Chain A
Amino acid sequence: MARIIVVTSGKGGVGKTTTSASISTGLAKRGHKTVVIDFDVGLRNLDLIMNCERRVVYDFVNVIQGDASLNQALIRDKRVDTLYILPASQTREKEALTKEGVEKVINELSETFDYIVCDSPAGIEHGALMALYYADEAVVVTNPEVSSVRDSDRILGILQSKSRRAEMGQDPVKEHLLLTRYNPDRVEKGEMLSVADVEEILAIPLLGVIPESQVVLNASNQGTPVILEDQSDAGQAYDDAVARLLGEEREHRFMSSQKKGFFARMFKG
């Protein structure tokens, strides 16, 4: 049985797809057979970030509608060979994701994969509900600002009431907070909420803090999951997050501003 992890947030643009790409890559790198599904039907992005957009033949909706088999639609990652991508359809509507259809695909994937990562679309409508419905765990991606925090709170409420686990009365979906685009300098100036603020409001365990970084943007543009940039702080922060997701204890990093040394200040400003 695969473990099903949804990456969700409510609010758009906070880093769900970046996170899905990195978490799935991180799990696969550790030897777990992992598939990442793009639920954002109509606004397909994951394939770009995973750099497989030129290899998409069939998509998630084709499989649901029986036009293609899973094996035809799954794309094997070129960097990590235990990682597969199931791309979203760009030409369909979110309503093409039926509960039965999604269940069928997830059940079939469960037979061969260890982890299924579901990259949720923004919002709280059908597409997002389908992405979280079958989840065992949820990574709630939040930026350190009030509107993102409130939307995360909303999505946590939906996880508790509308997921399959909630409807069946099973153990609740395991929730993780992932704080992205964190900038300690701006926190110090009072321009951003601090980790403690967000943790206090949302009251769920902290999976990791991803610092705001130019590396993230560059990696996206190049189609590299940022976790593979293992020299960068953002890449290392994602690696920590994946380790914690697998139960490892790791100290949180990148939460305070690094005092720049004399030379760094001289040469970088």
Chain B
Amino acid sequence: MTDALQANDRPAFQLKGTTVSLTALELAYFDEDSFEAALREKIRQAPGFFRDIPIIISLDHYEGPTAELDFFKLLGICRRHSIHVVGVRGGDDDQRRLARHAAIAILPSGGRQDRPTSPEAAPEAGAPAETTPEHATESAPATPAAARIVSQPVRSGQQVYAPEGDLIILAPVQAGAEVLAAGNIHVYGPLRGRALAGVHGQESARVFCQSLEAELVSIAGHYKISEDLQERGWKAPVQIQLRDDLLVVTPLDRSPG
């Protein structure tokens, strides 16, 4: 190697530990048709969120027969909907072997560290998520979910996404804009676009805004469109929460009853 080369030469890569927060698809059973139908419905609710996202398949709560676990079909369906399966977590040895045959990475099981998605287990809004230092290959979120704060208006055609915590917007969210958060969404201005809170399924997530003029509001996949939001709190300060699978709009000057 010449001196000149050595001087310019930087190693082609370095290995570093990193932590990535991913969405886990918690599989209960696998039936090709119902899986695809359910997936399509989820995507319909938040098309922007699902486009080209990486996910892991979690088998921690898999109850179906191992024989039905056809990873090739499952991967095919996901690929058709532009979802990238990066690995499988949990499951027994047989299930893992099936995954390995389909050339899917096997990740360590992380069930206990997952952020709770059921309303009972969810932390109070604003409480920091649990912090657990984790190794790079683990998939569960590791840092406390910091809120994402946006002070500029979210304009038509723009999308703002808080993949881990709350989303706080100190400006209007315009018609044709989309705001998404794993946690709550606060809009200190009129909400004229689409707001999707609890996109990973956190049913305790809420949407707050100073003036409800939204095209669509969704919490953990349950949504209402503009037409259905007109009756209560329209153009007024409100909070929206999920109660018994129904979106409930409450004016902010009254306590939620």
Contacts of B201 in A (CB 8 A): none
- How many angstroms between the C-alpha atoms of A150 and B155 in the bound complex? 9
Contacts of A151 in B (CB 8 A): 156
A157 near B158: Cβ-Cβ < 8 Å: yes
Write out, one digit per residue, whether chain B residues 157-193 have a CB within 8 A of any chain A CB (1) or not (0). Answer: 1100000000000011011110000000000000010
Name the interface residues of A150-181: CB closer than 8 Å to any CB of B.
Answer: 150-151, 153-154, 156-158, 160-161, 172
Identify which of B154, B156, B171, B176 gathers the most chain A CB atoms within 10 Å of its CB: B156
A157 near B172: Cβ-Cβ < 8 Å: no
Contacts of A158 in B (CB 8 A): 155, 157
- How many angstroms between the C-alpha atoms of A221 and B50 in the bound complex? 51
Tell whether A203 is near chain B: CB-to-CB under 8 Å.
yes
Contacts of B171 in A (CB 8 A): 203
Write out, one digit per residue, whether chain A residues 199-224 have a CB within 8 A of any chain B CB (1) or not (0). Answer: 00101000000000000000000000
- How many angstroms between the C-alpha atoms of A201 and B156 in the bound complex? 11
A153 near B152: Cβ-Cβ < 8 Å: no
Write out, one digit per residue, whether chain B residues 200-212 have a CB within 8 A of any chain A CB (1) or not (0). Answer: 0000000000000
Name the interface residues of A131-163: CB closer than 8 Å to any CB of B.
Answer: 150-151, 153-154, 156-158, 160-161
- Which residue of the partner chain, among A150, A156, A172, contacts B175 with CB atoms under 8 Å? A150
Contacts of A153 in B (CB 8 A): 155-156, 174-176
Tell whether B48 is near chain A: CB-to-CB under 8 Å.
no
- Which residue of the partner chain, among B153, B158, B175, contacts A203 with CB atoms under 8 Å? B153
B158 near A161: Cβ-Cβ < 8 Å: yes
- How many angstroms between the C-alpha atoms of A153 and B176 in the bound complex? 9
- Distance from A15 Cβ to chain B, minimum over Cβ atoms (Å): 20
- How many angstroms between the C-alpha atoms of A21 and B117 in the bound complex? 58
Identify which of A124, A156, A157, A203 gathers the most chain B CB atoms within 10 Å of its CB: A157
- Distance from B216 Cβ to chain A, minimum over Cβ atoms (Å): 16
B156 near A154: Cβ-Cβ < 8 Å: yes
- Which residue of the partner chain, among A150, A160, A161, contacts B176 with CB atoms under 8 Å? A150
- Which residue of the partner chain, among B152, B156, B172, contacts A150 with CB atoms under 8 Å? B156
Write out, one digit per residue, whether chain B residues 131-152 have a CB within 8 A of any chain A CB (1) or not (0). Answer: 0000000000000000000001
- Which residue of the partner chain, among A154, A172, A201, A203, contacts B157 with CB atoms under 8 Å? A154
- Distance from B117 Cβ to chain A, minimum over Cβ atoms (Å): 32
- Distance from B173 Cβ to chain A, minimum over Cβ atoms (Å): 11
- How many angstroms between the C-alpha atoms of A182 and B177 in the bound complex? 27
A-B contact pairs, 11 of them (CB 8 A): A150-B174, A150-B176, A153-B155, A153-B175, A154-B176, A156-B155, A157-B154, A158-B155, A158-B157, A160-B152, A160-B155
4 shortest interchain CB distances as A-B pairs: A157-B155, A153-B156, A154-B156, A157-B158
Given A157-B158, A158-B155, A201-B192, 11 extra CB contacts under 8 A? A150-B175, A151-B156, A153-B176, A154-B156, A157-B155, A157-B157, A157-B177, A160-B152, A161-B158, A201-B174, A203-B171
